[in-house]
Homo-oligomer: A and B are copies of this chain.
Amino acid sequence: MLNPNYIVGFVDGEGCFCVSLNRKNQQIPEVRLIFEIELREDDLDILKSIQLALRCGNIYYLKYDRYAKWRPHVKYKVSNFTDISQKIIPFFRKYPLQAKKRLSFEKFCKVAEIIETKEHLTAGGIERINNILHGDSLDALDAHVQWGATEIT
């Protein structure tokens, strides 16, 4: 089993704590938290080891037709909120990130607290989330929006 400090070091370099907002033509956008690591396909084994150690998440195979010269990639992804709140967040609380990615993680955790209380289903909650994402050090947050919605900048 991988040493947890190894996982923290690897994630500080290669991991992503994402907050995803998708408006889907609704007034209140859907908020999701995603923890992911994307690597070249020949580094699949280390993603499997991380998945085993963190006891959650799935691995996806990504082939970018747009980038024919790119090697296919593999992505480890945790998007289930229960896994995020009960496994991912406690893990990185116990073994803290050491590089600037800890700023992304702190914002990720603040958004998780809002989701826990269901406040993210209200306009006020969305405003709070936007304030978290657009606050100081926003640049350190790997915030993005999936499913074709607008990117947070």
Q: Does A13 contact B (CB under 8 A)?
A: yes
Q: Does A121 contact B (CB under 8 A)?
A: no
**B43 engages A100 (CB within 8 Å):** yes
A13 in complex: contacting residue of B3, B5, B13, B100, CB < 8 Å = B13
**A2 engages B98 (CB within 8 Å):** yes
Total identical chains? 2
For the complex, what is the distance from the CA of A141 to the CA of B6, rounded to whole Å? 21
A6 in complex: contacting residue of B5, B14, B39, CB < 8 Å = B5
A12 and chain B: residue at smallest CB distance: B10
Residues of B within 8 A of A46 (CB): 12, 98-100
Give the distance to chain B from A70, nearest Cβ to Cβ, in Å.
13
For the complex, what is the distance from the CA of A140 to the CA of B39, rounded to whole Å? 13
Listed in ascending order, the chain A residues whose CB lies under 8 Å from chain B are: 2-14, 39, 42-43, 45-46, 49, 98-100, 139-140
